[in-house]
Chains A and B, each alone.
Chain A
Amino acid sequence: MNDNLTDTTNQDSPIITIKDMHKWYGDFHVLKNINLKVHKGERIVICGPSGSGKSTLIRCINRLEEHQRGKIIVDGIELTNDLKNIERIRVEVGMVFQHFNLFPHLTILENLTLGPIWVRKTPKKEADETAMYYLEKVRIAEQAKKFPGQLSGGQQQRVAIARSLCMKPNVILFDEPTSALDPEMVKEVLDVMISLAQDGMTMLVVSHEMGFAKSVAHRVLFMDGGEILEENEPNEFFGNPQHERTQLFLSQILN
């Protein structure tokens, strides 16, 4: 499974660097001393029990959440309070949400072209063509004129993936992309994500889909209590977990 996927990474310059990062919600220490380097083309799956801070971690990367200590550097730009930097980083970093968050008042096509037209300043015609290309890619082009409310959950999530692709991001963050879906729709979304992986997209995926992690990820991270407890390549991670929390978590999730 892994053979045509492995050698796309470039070990020289990390695209995301997180150094000694901490975050608090009020007094609650949600993220503790996070260190992480993500290289171009790398695919990382983050798992862990709920409340472990994994969603918060990836939401810090595009500043949906603010970190209070340490550094996050994306594509050479450090995330600070500077709005210009935040906007530049958000253009480079795509995000796919658990609940899709499509814009319900816009058609599928408009959902996809909104970012390119208003942020990238792409001419409308070109944006439409790009949007149709990616809709084709997530196999949903025939729904372009419909509204999100008329689509199934799986279709909506595929549209959401296409929406972030339209911005031509360097990295896509997935925040539990399949956990709000009915079981029979999980596969269609995972298939799209696997085909993205085959194209060499850099991906950070918060997910409990262990099959996906095994077949696509370069590294699997296990988080608990706001810390990254264990980090390993998938075979090692699943076959020989080091930390006892990881062992417990895996035994619960695999049964």
Chain B
Amino acid sequence: MEETPPEKTTQRLRPPIRNVGILSWIRANLFNGWFNTILSLVFAYVLFLTIPPFIEWAFINSNWVSTSEECKASSGACWSIVTANIRFILFGFYPHDLQWRPLLAVVILVLLLFYSQNRKHWAKSLAYAWAIGLFSMGLLLKGGLFGLVSVDSSNWGGLPLTLLLSVFGLTAAYPVGIILALGRQSNMPIIKSFCIIYIELIRGVPLISLLFMSSVVFPLFLPEGMSINPILRAQVAIIMFTAAYIAEVVRGGLQGVERGQYEAAESIGLNYFQSMRRIILPQALRIVIPPSVSILISAFKDTSLVVIIALYDLLKTTQTTLSDPKWMGYSSEAYIFVAMIYFVCCFFMSNYSRKLEKELDTDL
């Protein structure tokens, strides 16, 4: 201390070092005070009671590739129900020999999604890539061209159906929701009241009733002999439903953009569409990334409700597998597997939204 001569200006000081060792962390966070200590001990005991048996069941005593008889003989988890029926769970009643086609379609979709993740790739070429990708996915599923055997859409099922309903549903619902939100803010009374009525009506009914209406009521209005593909009908119901929720979230975002931004956009002469497209929506949509993603995630999971109009989505194919007498009683394993698929998709969405939020944050 003696060696350093006193300086005239105030010294730059480093922040004090805080204790960061594991032991001190444990003491500071788990055992500070008698109440927290008791809580920690009780919780540790509960973990001790549950975790080891679960690991034993799921990994140590489990069967991964076996017949159902071997499963019955062991006490562990019977993952064989998944491995033995994986093709039915994932692809439903799609003809067995042709299942490479939905598989390829899903692979194309996943690749496109991963490529689109990076905002640097957002250019016109990406739009073309999606157009080509969607066309080839449709072609692969439906067939009937280029020597591919035609497969009726009533045989589509499992993962491709779930992904189809949600990816199309969410991407179509978002722009519709934005238009509804803008309409609700419009000065034109007819457009405004139409949007309000639409949003309130749709939000006032459960998705299930919309799906029922699309499959039972709607066909009554069609001329005789005409029918619309049930997948398409479910798709439209999902889009309409999700759009109403998106609209309200986006409206919140529009209100969150300062009045001055609208005025500044107007004062440099931008017209309504230009100022919305260039100034207001980019800011409003960034504000509402977290609630939008919540809606998208729940809409993704809600696609499983299409079982009630007899579509074989991922959850329904799993249930069907469970009704096979050979595999009865292994529902935990099958449902855990499906839950993992849903979880991976949802986790991906919420992670990506967080990344996007950070990237778009420009007020530093």
Contact = CB atoms under 8 A, between A and B. Distances in A.
Interface of A: 62, 64, 83, 87, 90-91, 93-95, 97, 99, 101-105, 114-115, 118-119, 147-150, 163-164, 167
A147 B269 CA distance: 22
Given A119-B274, A147-B362, A150-B364, A94 B267 contact: yes
A88 B278 CA distance: 19
B360 A87 contact: no
Contacts, number: 71
B279 interface: yes
B268 interface: yes
Given A97-B260, A101-B258, 18 more contacts: A87-B269, A90-B268, A91-B269, A94-B267, A94-B268, A95-B263, A95-B267, A97-B263, A99-B260, A101-B260, A104-B283, A104-B363, A105-B360, A114-B279, A115-B269, A118-B278, A119-B268, A147-B362
B105 to A, nearest CB: 36
A114 B260 CA distance: 16
Interface residues of chain B: helix, strand, loop or mixed (majority): helix
B261 A90 contact: no
A27 to B, nearest CB: 22
10 contacts: A93-B267, A101-B258, A101-B263, A103-B264, A103-B265, A105-B286, A114-B279, A119-B274, A148-B363, A163-B268
A87 B364 contact: no
B215 to A, nearest CB: 43
Nearest to B272: A83
Interface in B209-228: none
B229 interface: no
B264 to A, nearest CB: 4
B282 interface: yes
Interface residues of chain A: helix, strand, loop or mixed (majority): mixed
Contact of A87 (B271, B283, B286, B362): B271
Interface in B237-276: 258, 260-261, 263-271, 274
A102 B283 CA distance: 12
Interface string B347-364: 000000000000010111
A101 B268 contact: no
Interface of B: 258, 260-261, 263-271, 274, 278-279, 282-283, 286, 360, 362-364
B266 A64 contact: yes
B362 A118 contact: no
Max count, chain B CB within 10 A of own CB: residue among A62, A87, A101, A163: A101
Contacts of A114: 268, 270, 278-279
Contact of B264 (A102, A105, A119): A102
Contacts of B269: 87, 90-91, 115, 119, 167
A95 B262 CA distance: 13
Contact of B261 (A62, A83, A103, A150): A103
B72 to A, nearest CB: 61
Contacts of A150: 364
A150 B363 CA distance: 7
B360 A101 contact: no
Contacts of B263: 64, 95, 97, 101
Contact of A64 (B267, B279, B283, B364): B267
A90 B265 CA distance: 10
Contacts of B267: 62, 64, 90, 93-95, 97, 164
A118 B268 CA distance: 10
Contacts of B362: 104-105, 147-149
B270 A115 contact: yes
A105 B282 contact: yes
Max count, chain A CB within 10 A of own CB: residue among B258, B263, B279, B286: B263
Nearest to B278: A114
Q: Top 7 nearest A-B pairs by Cβ distance?
A: A149-B363, A101-B264, A115-B268, A101-B260, A95-B267, A90-B269, A119-B269
A148 B283 CA distance: 14
B47 to A, nearest CB: 45
Contacts of B270: 114-115, 118-119
Nearest to A166: B268
Contacts of A99: 260
B261 A101 contact: yes
A176 to B, nearest CB: 13
A167 B260 contact: no
Contacts of A104: 283, 362-363
B268 A147 contact: no
Contacts of B274: 118-119
Max count, chain B CB within 10 A of own CB: residue among A87, A90, A104: A104
Contact of B364 (A101, A103, A149, A164): A149
A87 B283 CA distance: 23
Contacts of B282: 105
Contacts of A93: 267
A4 to B, nearest CB: 30
Nearest to A115: B268
B278 to A, nearest CB: 6
A93 B267 CA distance: 8
A114 B269 CA distance: 10
Contacts of A119: 268-270, 274
B13 to A, nearest CB: 26
